[in-house]
Copies of this chain bind each other. A is one copy, B any other.
């Protein structure tokens, strides 16, 4: 019998408790142990709810109870989660978290502490919800140099872009609908400005290069400027607009970015729609691979947390080596990144050609007073220099 504590009885924390109960037989089989939730840490009481008898308000009760071997952190945010998790690891308990903010900020430090204490700190649910991606990167694709990792890792924005694409709606309309359905929060900033995706690609890039990537160093653009007109052009080009969180290996190190990209129909990420997430991984030996599934939601995310619990129960006396050092890595400047750029402009074809040289024009009959074009492959800084010389830039979206 392994006793478990859950810190934070919100959507995901309650999902973890639910799965541990509903799938107890399966979990006994895969972990080799019976699991019992002994404490749930929350500021609320949940009177009348069966969980009430397990509620505690002081994390020290958990830290000081030697019966507790496994702790689940599903509170979110850096503090007080960081203080609590640190105390649990120092007390020799295994910890799993779904908290991307905590992992992006303190991941390397908490892994080092777990190693020192010969316990585990796992965080499969922090990226891609229920999709197994952290463990495959840490334990499966370990013989490869990861040349690229690019993900649709925010379900809210993917739902919105899918709606805009399928129904021709504007950003504001779709946002309202997403909020009404509970897919977007009242303050949608973290999702629509790409901040959530930025934390997640910081975590993925840290794992891939084995060093600390600071999310503040990652160039981040959201989807607020995407319009139905952009989507008309995307369709004309046989592409889809997706908010990608992407890292590519270059001669100067990894270059990371969050931004809307135009993805061709032949790419596996093209068909990832609605609230689904997917992470595309290209290895120098493996080639292309993709991990697809529910990137958010109570039970899918809790499923990933429970997978971590089982793994920790199987490694109760052994630290699982995770290759992520605290030493910060210097990312390559995103302005050195080379790609093709799609641009909408009021400028004439002649002016465009004079400024950008060889381009592919994208002409949409209904749009009389503007034109689209796609540049040849060039660096971000070369693009900016040329674009500054163009009399009008209505929009720019990168090719992927």
Contact = CB atoms under 8 A, between A and B. Distances in A.
A131 B175 CA distance: 36
A29 interface: yes
Nearest to A209: B29
Given A135-B139, A292-B292, A284 B23 contact: yes
A168 interface: no
A320 interface: yes
Given A268-B292, A271-B268, A132 B142 contact: no
A97 B304 CA distance: 28
A163 to B, nearest CB: 16
A298 to B, nearest CB: 9
Give the number of copies in the complex: 2
A231 interface: no
Contacts of A323: 29-30
A300 B140 CA distance: 12
A189 to B, nearest CB: 27
A328 interface: no
Interface residues of A, number: 58
A20 B309 CA distance: 32
Contacts of A131: 289
Contacts of A27: 142-143
Contacts of A22: 284-285
Interface stretch (A212-220, A252-260, A310-318): A310-318
A379 interface: no
Interface in A107-155: 124, 130-132, 135-136, 139-145
A321 interface: yes
Contact of A321 (B32, B135, B305): B32
Contacts of A141: 132, 303, 307
Contacts of A29: 210, 323
Nearest to A134: B140
Contacts of A31: 142
B268 A285 contact: no
A286 B310 contact: no
A303 B26 contact: no
Contacts of A210: 29
A241 to B, nearest CB: 18
B299 A286 contact: yes
Contact of A142 (B143, B284, B287, B311): B311
A283 interface: yes
A288 interface: yes
Given A268-B271, A271-B271, A30 B142 contact: yes
A319 B145 CA distance: 27
A306 interface: yes
Given A135-B135, A135-B136, A144 B23 contact: yes
Contacts of A285: 15, 19, 22-23, 130, 299-300, 302-303, 306
Contact of A145 (B23, B284, B293, B318): B23
A293 B286 contact: yes
Nearest to A315: B318
B287 A299 contact: yes
A399 interface: no
Interface string A45-66: 0000000000000000000000
10 contacts: A26-B142, A26-B144, A31-B142, A132-B141, A139-B139, A143-B306, A268-B271, A270-B271, A289-B291, A289-B294
Given A144-B306, A285-B303, 12 more contacts: A22-B284, A139-B139, A139-B310, A139-B311, A140-B304, A143-B303, A143-B306, A276-B288, A285-B300, A287-B297, A288-B292, A314-B320
